[in-house]
Structure 1
Amino acid sequence: MRRVSLLRNISGIEDEPEHHGKRFNGIVYRYTALRYSEDKMTVVTARFVRFLLTLLVVFSFLIEVVFVPLIGQSIISDFPEARPFFIPAFVWVVLIMGCGQAILVVVWRLISFVVERRIFTAAALPWVRAIIVISVGALTLLISAFIVANILGFTPPAAMYGLIGLSLLCLTFVLIMRTMLGLLRRATALHDELAEVI
């Protein structure tokens, strides 16, 4: 009843005149149809995004299992002095890829919240925090690799510039997600207040 009253107030319809009943029913119908259309679009978009996430996960595993060993062997054949660094570098790449895969899993869960219309609830906040924590872990790995490489004297320009670029990208992503977490908190608070009113 409170929602019906709110819709009447928004639409400017008074309770007394009976001839406004059809107009009010039309507004309610359009409101319901719009929500159904939005839900259907959300489900279709979510399925497409999940398909892309699945492709990314499969591709990342292929990189770990196939491409990284092949590239490593190619580098060792050209630069035999890099052989001692192969295993540590392989472990480091697996950890970095693991951070990316973990973020994809969290994004999958957040998409479920969107489909279930629970994204603006307190339950979604820990998942966004998880993305921030994982990203900070990846940033730590990148900075550690840069420091260790300089200590060991293994500083090919391409690798060093790559580490710097990835570190800056990761830091930017962390800051963006931190901002998004703040916005989500505000939106959640407003959503809860509106739910109490309705």
Structure 2
Amino acid sequence: MGEIVATARPRNSRSSRGRNLLAGLALGLALLPVLSLPASADCADVPAPGVDWRRCQFFGNDFSDRDFTGANFQSASLSNTNFENAQLDGLDGRRVHFVAAKMSGASLAGADLRDADFTSADLSGASLAKADMRRGRFYGTVFRNADLTGARLDNADLLNADLSGATWIDGKTVCDEGSIGQCRLKRTKAPGPA
């Protein structure tokens, strides 16, 4: 039988350690695109369904009649912007700022608008059916004739919001004219003596 001989491996010299380090660095750089986080928003992207405008800032732009279905506006600032008759269904609008935005006739059905700021925005005739508006700020927001069927308004601030003619969250109640800050039911006069 043959004899088993153990041999010691020579220690890496400085040059071989350097080569190993460079090889590891090259491998790491090659894997970087695979391991990197999802691409961040590009504020220069054109308005389109699914656009990612997270943390973007627009002021006074006209996006009326555009389709933003399923878009991501999370933490974006869109103050004084025109979204009249725009499609924003399924929007991720958490913490978005729509301060003084023109949004009459817009559709935000099923939108996630938690912690959003709609101070002084005009949502007349807008559809907010099944929108999640919890903890939102709606100071002086105009909801005249808007559809709030199934919307979640837990802890939302409706201070001075005009809800006149709006369909309330139950889908049946229509808020009386002059419903400021809360939905008031129409009062009917009780029949009196003849």
Q: Relative contact order: is structure 1 or structure 2 higher (C-alpha 8 Å, sep ≥ 6)?
A: 1
Higher Cα radius of gyration: 2
Tell me the TM-score normalized by structure 2: 0.24
Structure (1 or 2) with the greater helix fraction: 1
Tell me the TM-score normalized by structure 1: 0.24
